[in-house]
Chains A and B, each alone.
Chain A
Amino acid sequence: MNLEYFVFGVMFVMALGASLAMLFARNAVHAALFLVVTQVALALGFLLQGAFFVAAVQIILYAGAIMVLFLFVIMLLGVDTREALIDPLPGQRPLAIGLGGLLAAEILWVAVRGVELAAGGEDQATALTELNQNPGNVKALAAELFSRYLLPFEATSVLLVVAIVGVMVLARRIGRVPNTGTGAESASGSDKEGAAA
């Protein structure tokens, strides 16, 4: 049991520390790297709470695909220059920090009350453990996803198709005459497609 607290502590420090570091990182690539660390820490948090499949997907999709995509675009555009420390919008930074702090305080307060709330939820946590053992995490998820959540699931597939088409349209370079298909042009073209999708 202490071990779980220990892992949770590591996870907590990793996740929060990395997010704060991300806040103070002046370089976009560094920020991206801290975000990856945060996500890996969160995956650990998911594992701790018995969400194995979600943890794996979190790594594969977020850390493995989305963040790589971020890095790709940063490198492609060369926008990894350092930002000026002075915010050109007057009052933006103090207000943002103040309001953000207020929000954090409010959420914390609610979370603390949530602890009391969760005192009765311990029994259900064991229910999830049983669920993870009997049909197994993946099978339990699949059973729910493909029965009760079938319609939203299909809707997400539509969303993805729309996103893919939208990206194709956005990233397409208009007015480029198609070449014989052997030059470097088409190479960079498919490069975009590959990266975008």
Chain B
Amino acid sequence: MIDLAPYVIALPLAGALLLMIFGKRIGKAAGIVASAAIGVPFLLALAMLVDLLGLHAEERSVIVTAFEWIEVGDFEAAARLLVDPLSIVMVLVVTGVGTLIHIYSIGYMHGEARYARFFSYMNLFAASMLLLVLADNLLLLYVGWEGVGLCSYLLIGFWFERPAAANAAKKAFIVNRVGDFSFLIGIFVLSASAGSLTVGQVNAEAGGMAAGVATAAALLLFGGATGKSAQIPLYVWLPDAMEGPTPVSALIHAATMVTAGVYMIARFSPVFEASGGPALLVVAWIGALTALWAGLLATAEYDIKRVLAYSTVSQLGYMFLALGVGAYSVAIFHLVTHAFFKALMFLGAGSVMHSLKGETDMRRMGGLRKAMPVTGWTFMMGWLAISGIIPFSGFFSKDAILASAWHEGQFLLWLIGAVTAVLTAFYMSRLYFRVFEGKLVTPGNLHVHDAPPSMAAALLPLGALAVIGGAINLPGALTLEVFLEPAVGHSEVPGGIVPWILGAIALVAGVAGIAAARFLYALPSGQKPLETLHERFSPLVNATQHKFYVDELYGRAIVLPGKALASFCANFLDARIVDGAVNGVAWLVGQSSWALRRVQTGYIRNYALTFLFGVVVAFSLLAFRGVL
């Protein structure tokens, strides 16, 4: 079954092409076609997983050649796919969550004019993402990397009639290009120093690389990851990306694409290891700071989807923190659980927006759990999971990250993580209490209805996964860490009493956050302290509400000089110098032809005379040079 790996990519790609060409003809069936195009690969992936489990642990890395791609002399880049524990986990997440989101979209996008096109993009995205995770070759990986970027751009700007959506798409694309550029150079450095483009070869050669080269390559790769996975300083595009349809946010900006950076670093962990301390430290610190930073921003946001977006950024920061402390399998574990509960919450938010005619401001909502029970209850699962309440999935993964940081001796990082855990619980609870608890509030007193069957069909399984997803890494059973070991190496799990204490602290942090939020936002008594708080810390609150002025800073520091440079190029360089040169040459030619055209008398005998003159001159030259 593992040989079928190319079909995992080919099916969504075929679906995308089919819908692109015959989309109008297919019409309403597009959603079903697209869901099938991603659902069947999920089943294939399950079968592949079974096959893989059937192999000995050391042999769980199978290379499948789809076709020979480029062969120039010694250089060859075959379209080879690498099926190993890491990629199969990613494939399962992408296809599994992706299938649910596709099914959800059938209901959510119902009545949309560009229905088939949406699903075409979604399938194309799935194909690109699967190519990214399955590629055994840096070039192929880069194709997938750019492919998901393209689809992200297309889907964020799906409602391109809205300037906000169009701008958000452009922003996402441009910010991502910065990261992609870094990534590309990283690939060049790797291929130059490793002499090969295949993942296995690069990782095998990594140990022999000079530390400086490895560090440079690692940092460049991480630069790519900061773009794709929305880390400081390139996180700014993700909140704006919420302009896209909600299923897009759920699939791309929560579950899959933004985790590509995490996957990529896990994939090239030997390179990061080879660089020694600095690179991993940078990764860890950037991750921790992003987690804290985004958590702070999320507390002041009123847009329901943006809160979730900041939350995503924050949780991705956790994952990078885990990567940075060398706990790759933990990072992947959190990636998986996060995919479950964050997709769930996005879809829940989408369900809310769907029934509130697109309303996203949480100040105009309230008490919706009773009005839409399915959405409310499943959202609650997600809320509890992200808040780190035992036994929901988020607790296990977050706890594992914090434990790994502690174990590595990075106490400061552990502290930041713990504080962020409090913040996470706080802002998610704020969201939950505002929207689902309390008195029923709807904009314009709409009649609220619960999610339609297809949406519910996605919400319920995801809710269940959010609850029990932590089970995949329960100590003692067949754990994810053990499964991933051949691919990303062993991660030390602290023994003794320490993990239990750390787990307790994490749980306490989550509970504390929830309690604070409940006090401030859910209880009537919290109204006054909240206002006091706002007054007391008004500059901080203000700054938070303005996203710490990062967009403005970028606007001043990068966009304005860029515009000035462009304007300089356009108005001076191009208009004066380039055009001036071109026009000057034209003017010169025109003037000289005006002068020279007097030679052209029209009398053929004059022309012949000139001809004779040339002959005589040529003859004389030859004669004098003694040729004749």
Contact = CB atoms under 8 A, between A and B. Distances in A.
Given A102-B616, A103-B612, A106-B620, A92 B628 contact: no
Nearest to A107: B619
A113 B612 contact: no
B605 A106 contact: no
Interface string B531-551: 000000000000000000000
Contact of A103 (B603, B605, B615, B628): B615
Given A92-B605, A92-B606, A99-B609, A110 B628 contact: yes
B612 A110 contact: no
A99 B616 CA distance: 7
B535 to A, nearest CB: 101
Contact of A106 (B609, B613, B616): B616
A96 interface: yes
Interface residues of B, number: 13
Interface in B598-628: 601, 603, 605-606, 609, 612-613, 615-616, 619-620, 623, 628
B620 A99 contact: no
Contacts of B612: 96, 99-100, 103
B609 A96 contact: yes
Interface in A157-186: none
B101 to A, nearest CB: 73
Contact of A89 (B603, B613, B615, B619): B603
A95 B616 CA distance: 12
**A-side interface mostly:** helix
Overall SS of chain B's interface: helix
B196 to A, nearest CB: 56
Nearest to A103: B616
A104 to B, nearest CB: 10
A109 interface: yes
Interface in A109-154: 109-110, 113
Interface string A12-25: 00000000000000
- Interface size for chain A: under 10, 10 to 19, 20 to 34, or 35 or more residues? 10 to 19
B623 A106 contact: yes
Interface in A81-111: 89, 92, 95-96, 99-100, 102-103, 106-107, 109-110
Contacts of A109: 623
B628 A113 contact: yes
A89 B606 CA distance: 8
A96 B606 CA distance: 9
Contacts of A96: 609, 612
Nearest to A101: B616
Interface in A48-73: none
Nearest to B608: A96
Contacts of B609: 92, 95-96, 99
A170 to B, nearest CB: 18
Interface string B508-532: 0000000000000000000000000
Nearest to A106: B619
B601 to A, nearest CB: 8
Contacts of A99: 609, 612-613, 616
Contacts of B613: 99
Contacts of B623: 106, 109-110
A143 to B, nearest CB: 32
A96 B615 CA distance: 12
Contacts of B616: 99, 102-103, 106
A89 to B, nearest CB: 6
Contacts of B605: 89, 92
A92 B615 CA distance: 16
A103 B601 CA distance: 24
Contacts of B619: 103, 106-107
Given A92-B606, A96-B612, A113-B628, 12 more contacts: A89-B601, A89-B606, A92-B609, A95-B609, A99-B609, A99-B612, A99-B613, A99-B616, A100-B612, A103-B616, A106-B623, A110-B623
21 contacts: A89-B601, A89-B605, A89-B606, A92-B606, A92-B609, A95-B609, A96-B609, A96-B612, A99-B612, A100-B612, A102-B616, A102-B620, A103-B612, A103-B615, A106-B616, A106-B620, A106-B623, A109-B623, A110-B623, A110-B628, A113-B628
